[in-house]
Amino acid sequence: MKLVSRYLLGHLFRPWLYVIAGFSLVAILVDLFDNFVDFMEAATPIRQV
């Protein structure tokens, strides 16, 4: 693979991976807070969540 191709792929995929990681984190947090009442009612330990 040419140096220019690797450079361009690195600059295209790195932000894409950050966006995917950010969306995943937001989805996990939304799910956690959506089910927060259920976790508290069941007295679920933090480590199990």
With tokens 């140096």, the residue in question is 3
Residue type, 43: A
Structure confidence at residue 5 (pLDDT): 81
Q: CA-to-CA distance for 30 and 36, rounded, in angstroms?
A: 10
Distance, in Å, from the CA atom of 6 to the CA atom of 40, rounded to the nearest integer, reads: 49
Dihedral-angle region of residue 43 (phi above 0 means left; psi in -120 to 50 means alpha; beta otherwise): left
> Which residue has 């450079």 as its token pair?
7
Q: What are the pLDDT tens digits along the chain (49 aa)?
A: 688 788 888 888 999 999 999 999 999 999 999 988 888 888 878 777 6
pLDDT at 49: 65
The pLDDT of residue 38 is 86
